[in-house]
């Protein structure tokens, strides 16, 4: 989320649970840390490149001429 060009991090809100209490009730905000982005393995990258090359070869064979 962005609030007037600010994010939760720039507002100083670190992951955790924040609770605000008023006479009319409470508001609870739970900020979870972002999930880690998995790093692809070299084998996965090689497989992806091999599939791309096979796809290009198939497209090349289908072109007339």
- The structural domains of the chain, with segments of one domain joined by +, span 16-62
Block means of pLDDT (10 residues each) for the chain, 65 residues, are 71 85 91 74 84 89 71
Q: Specify whether the backbone of 10 is left (phi greater than 0), alpha (psi in -120 to 50) or beta.
A: alpha
pLDDT at 24 (0 to 100): 92
Q: For residue 30, give the nearest of 18, 12, 14, 21 by alpha carbon.
A: 18
47, two tokens: 């497989």
Q: What integer pLDDT is reported at residue 28 of this predicted model?
A: 92
d(CA 7, CA 35): 17
Q: What share of the chain is helix, strand, coil (3-state, %, to 5)?
A: 30, 25, 45
């Amino acid at each position: 989320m962005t609030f007037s060009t600010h994010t939760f991090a720039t507002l100083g809100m670190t992951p955790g649970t924040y609770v605000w209490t008023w006479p009319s009730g409470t508001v609870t905000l739970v900020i979870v840390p972002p999930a880690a982005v998995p790093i692809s393995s070299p084998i996965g990258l090689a497989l992806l490149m091999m599939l791309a090359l096979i796809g290009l070869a198939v497209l090349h064979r289908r072109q007339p001429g």
